[in-house]
Structure 1
Amino acid sequence: MGTPHFRLFDAWNMNMSIENRRFALQQELDIKKTNKDRNHLGQFSTPFTLAMDIARYALSLCDINDIRFLEPAIGTGVFFSALRILSKPLLAVGYEIDPHYALPSIELWRDEALTVNNDDFLCQKPNRRFNLILANPPYSRHHHIDSAVKQRLQYLVESNYGLKISGLSGLYCYFLILSTLWLQNDGISCWLIPSEFMDVKYGEAVKRFLTSNVDLISIHRFDSSDLQFSDALVSSSIVTFKNRQPSNQKVRFSHGGTLFNPHNITELDKTELNPSEKWSLKFDSSNEELQGHSLGHYFKVSRGISTGNNSFFILSTTEVLEKGLPMEFLTPILPAPRHLSQSIIFEDFSNLDTNDKYFLLSCPLPIEDVQHLYPQLYKYIIEGESKGANNSYNCQKRVPWYTTESRQAAPIYMTYMGRGENASRMFRFILNESESIVTNSYLMLYPREKYKHCISDKATLIQVWKTLNSIPKDRLSKCGRSYGGGLFKIEPKELELLKIPELKDVLKPIQTSLFDV
């Protein structure tokens, strides 16, 4: 019969043999689908080593001899493949909506204690037979979800948990919440999902669910530069909770490294987890709340202009001259951040290369007037229509379509998106002495009314600009959000909330009364 050691070794080899077949099948099936199709459906397979870590961690919270396992979006069954090496589930059920993966998966596991259903999990009637869920749900964005499906899922979330979930929520949010209806009391649920729910507005319902409807155990956030999927540009987290009312047990927030060997760990009381706040800031226990005003106290932050078709609306000096376009409908506009090396834009643009001078076209006149008064502009507009320049969403909302929103030049612009490996250029504040405006690849900083007099003084403006550029990049990145591949992004409201005590002694409000201090 052999020794127990060799029997265990043989069992391991047999299990890994099936895993090797599953992995080969996964690769074969993925190749037959385009990246566009898989992105649309949010299909990104979990690496087996990560599935093993997740399974091992979840089992440490369970009775390993009483596992009733559910995988709501099973794919080819990577979590079951990991789980069967570590335990012997008494029950194992998976759902997969896509027959491209479901049918081969059914065939692969036909001799195993796993039932794979080729059905939409979110359309099934919940059955509380399960005490363990391991899942990597579809990462489908909200605009890929049919409106009728979205309304049905929103109704289910509200009717079962009293939560109003935003229509901007990705499909994974519905999976995480609604799958809990299948869990027994005290059942464990462990999810590999995008980290963005912790920082974006639509994630508030998920955070409220985790703090009010279940007992949150831990969140491990992978470093944004450490992609868990080779084919998905998304930063991931592992969220684990128990299906019971929230307890007094602290929540473990870990970051970086691996689930079992993170770079740092923070233990938090549940009272510290406010669903309306950004949870990404909770992962570093060294973070201290800065005192003083936020940037929004001094500046209103707006995104630059969205034209709807930059190739039509933005023209170089050469193109303007060649097409004979009238200057009264042209406004200077800066090139995209990657093409702008300067940190100061002089009033006369003398420090820009000739190739860097661009103009924004915007004409409010009816097309009949344009045809009569500006024949060259009329010709350009008609050429644009023949190429479909007027078909974008933004253009279709405007009357006439070839006009853009009116925007005044701001004294300071900011590049708000970049990757960590180029931190010096990731977030730049640009001093604008010209009348140039910018596209939505920049943020525009307009001084609040009571600080306009300060900004009108050039020396003060330069000091403000230098102060903003001296803000540590890690402070800026923490006020925004991170994506896969080390990509960071800051939204206007997020920048307004950034505390900048350094500006206190630089900007002084207007003294409106002799009694003002």
Structure 2
Amino acid sequence: MRGGGKQHVPPAGPKRDALRNKGQFWTPDWVAEIMVGYLIAGGSQELFDPAVGTGAFFKAARKLMSETNTTLALFGTEIDPLVLEMGLADGLHQSDLANVEIRDFVLHPPYRMFDGIVANPPYIRHHRLTKETKSKLKNWSKEVIGKPLDGRAGLHVYFLIRALQHLKENGRLAFIVPADVCEGVFAHDLWQWITQRYCLEAVITFVPEATPFPDVDTNPVILMIKASSPKNSFWWVECQNHDAEALKRWVLSGFSERCDTHFIHKRDLSEALQIGLSRPPQKDISFNLMLLKFGQVKRGIATGANDFFFLTHAQASFWGLPSEFLIPAIGRTRDVPGNVITRDTLERLNRAGRPTLLFAPDGRPIEKFPKKMQAYLRRGEELGISQRSLISTRHPWYKMERRTPPPILFAYLGRRNVRFIRNLAGVLPLTGFLCVYPYQEDANFIDKLYKVLQHPKTIANLAIVGKSYGNGAIKVEPRALERLPLPQDVVEQVGLTLQTEQYRQISFL
């Protein structure tokens, strides 16, 4: 996400990829005005934008200065001079850019502090950063917060940290960022550092219908932070429609004016940090019983080259691959329309020409395999399969991970269709699924655990541990799924026996 005005986001293709690589998704005017309003409400005399883009915040500042009879001196940095030219063509004045420097804000920041900072930083996920850049950022974050952030932190996270460092005492910062800043694996360390040193004053979230970025696969939040002593509570807002004027007036009033068109709640900071700042407040949620008490979660099999290792029956037959190296497998969540995988499911996929076989060689030398299999592996080397990033770390490159088929699968990324799936066909899932391995292997225990996991109350709790994306989609990582709270009344009703870390059984019956 970046500063700017209106923008058409291509649904796919090279233009979309170019936007992703630069993180350039422009800020709507109504959002920019709300964020600049936070600075004005606090009496800021300066507005510094570390990622100016096409200048949405500068234009919003000019409008609000006129409406409120205030003055803000405009400062900024931008790494791409071309987008500044776009801003001039879209309403920016040359005078607006008088104090804008072309520089990398995170790695080469300005030398001064500011009493007002506002930004829509580049939304560049970690896998789009070079190894050299990631290494520099991790080392720098260790110096700042005392430990390196997890490698999955995107560039926007480091923008936030750097901006906070450049905030004067009692200065104000308003950032619009993806929800992963509050939900990612790095979020705990990040927010411990922030909330021990700064005052979180407000978090503004959006229901899917009110999102400022309807064409972008992320769920945005606005953070409003003051460089003053921390407090134990903050304003949590769920923006429920595009009534921006009411929300802007509320912010300009110092959070005092009545606003009935959005959900506004004074929230306890410790509760919010446990649940996730971007997630709604939760009542009566207990983490005493989590999935980890009953089983562990692992990722599905990562082949590194599904086109080579995940095959149809026809492909396996054509290449003459022995059945002893072929394991029934499932690759896509949409290949499982229901909540159970059976042999009939596999037969239906076979008839449709879908791959259902995992080619899983062991670690013996190639020449020890049957001749036709040797030929297939040699072909893989000729095609460069052995040089692909994940595969090149294996020794030998074709040795496939061995795994017991999990009794329960979890379709972990989707829009309103994340679900647990009973695996009655004994298939191995690929990375489109997570694997749930119950601590006890008897069918009765597994069936009871599955029944608890399928319960609507449990499914509702996925929003507490999942990462939210655009249009209501959530994604749940393995360690997060292990922290899924299981409602105690449901566990008791089903008669599921609790398994502690020492595997000591405690019955609720």
- Normalization by structure 1: what TM-score? 0.81
Rounded to whole Å, the distance in 1 between the matches of 2:319 and 2:144 is 61
Q: Structure 2 unaligned runs (5+)?
A: 248-258
**Native 8 Å contact 1:102 1:116 kept in 2:** no
**Partner residue in 1 for 2:429:** 438
Residue 287 of structure 1, aligned match among 280, 283, 286: 283
Separation (CA, whole Å) in 2 of partners of 1:70 and 1:199: 27
Match of 1:507 among 496, 500, 508: 496
Instruction: Measure how far apart 1:235 and its partner are.
Output: 0.9
Per-residue Cα deviation, 1:419-462 (whole angstroms, up to 9, x for no partner):
03xxxxx12322222332111111212121xx33xx334xx544
* 2:283 aligned counterpart, secondary structure: coil
Pick which of 309-318 and 224-233 moved more.
Answer: 224-233
Seen in structure 2, the aligned counterparts of structure 1 residues 90 and 47 have a Cα distance that, compared at 3 Å, is: closer
Aligned twin of 1:8: none
In the TM superposition, what whole-angstrom CA distance separates every residue of 1:18-66 from its partner, at most 9, and x where no partner exists?
Answer: xxxx858x789xxxx9332221121111011211222224322x22xx6
Please, which of 55, 79, 83 is the counterpart of residue 77 of structure 1? Answer: 55
Label 1:159 to 1:330 Cα distance change in 2 as closer, same or farther (>3 A): closer
Deviation at 1:125? 3.6
SS of structure 2 residue aligned to 1:283: coil
Aligned residue in 2 for 1:345? 341
RMSD over aligned CA atoms reads: 3.2
Among 190, 193, 214, which residue is 2:198 paired with?
214
1:467 corresponds to which of 452, 455, 462: 452
Distance 1:343 1:231 in 2: 30
Does the CA contact (< 8 Å) of 2:20 and 2:124 recur in 1? yes
1:127 to 88, 97, 112: 112
Structure 2 residue 28 is the aligned partner of structure 1 residue 47: yes
CA shift for structure 1 position 114: 4.6
User: By how many angstroms is 1:350 displaced?
Assistant: 7.8
* 3-state DSSP of counterpart to 1:126: coil
Give the aligned partner of residue 309 of structure 1.
305
User: Is 1:306–1:440's contact at 8 Å kept on the other side of the alignment?
Assistant: yes
Q: Within 5 Å, which residues of 2 pair with 1:89-100?
A: 89-100=71-82
CA contact (8 A) 1:226 1:235 kept: no
Task: Tell me which of 76, 84, 101 is aligned to 1:102.
Answer: 84
CA deviation map 1:65-89 (0-9, x unaligned): x621111110121101011111153
Q: TM-score, normalised by structure 2?
A: 0.83
- Report the CA distance between 1:230 and its aligned residue: 4.8
Seen in structure 2, the aligned counterparts of structure 1 residues 350 and 359 have a Cα distance that, compared at 3 Å, is closer
Shift of 1:342: 4.4
344-353 or 333-342, larger mean C-alpha shift = 344-353
User: Which position in structure 1 is the counterpart of 2:295?
Assistant: 299
Judge which range, 335-344 or 210-219, deviates more: 335-344
Judge conservation of contact 2:312–2:350 (CA < 8 Å) in 1: no
Structure 1 residues 216-365: aligned runs within 5 Å: 216-224=200-208, 226-247=210-231, 250-257=233-240, 260=247, 263-274=262-273, 277-280=274-277, 283-284=280-281, 286-290=282-286, 293-346=289-342, 352-355=348-351, 358-365=356-363
Q: Which residue, 152, 167, 173 being the options, matches 1:168? A: 152
Asked if the contact 2:177–2:220 (Cα under 8 Å) also holds between the matched residues in 1, the reply is yes
Identity of aligned residues (%): 26
Shift of 1:280: 4.3
Deviates more, 1:396-405 or 1:160-169: 160-169
1:495 aligns with one of 468, 481, 485: 481
2-structure distance, mates of 1:327, 1:101: 57
CA contact (8 A) 1:102 1:118 kept: no
Identify the match of residue 141 of structure 1 among 111, 125, 130.
Answer: 125
Does the aligned pair in 2 maintain the 1:95–1:116 contact within 8 Å? yes
| Cross-structure match for 1:377 | 373
- SS state of the match for residue 385, structure 2? coil
Structure 1 position 115, deviation (Å): 2.3
Distance in 2 (CA, whole Å) between partners of 1:287 and 1:495 is 20
Structure 1 spans left out of the alignment, 5+ residues: 1-21, 421-425
8 Å Cα contact 2:179/2:278 also seen in 1: no
Q: Say if 1:45 and 1:463 are closer, same or farther in 2 by CA, change over 3 A.
A: same
CA change 1:165–1:104 in 2 (3 A) is same
Count of residues paired in the alignment: 470
Which whole-Å CA distance do the structure 2 matches of 1:184 and 1:350 have between them? 62
CA contact (8 A) 2:238 2:263 kept: yes
Deviation at 1:227, TM superposition (A): 3.9
Question: Secondary structure of the equivalent of 2:47?
Answer: strand
1:227–1:234 contact (8 Å) kept in structure 2: no
Larger Rg over CA atoms: 1
Q: In the alignment, is residue 180 of structure 1 matched against residue 155 of structure 2?
A: no
Match of residue 17 from structure 1: none
**Aligned equivalents of 2:366, 2:97: Cα separation in 1:** 73
Task: Kindly state the Cα deviation for residue 95 of structure 1 after the two structures are TM-superposed.
Answer: 1.0
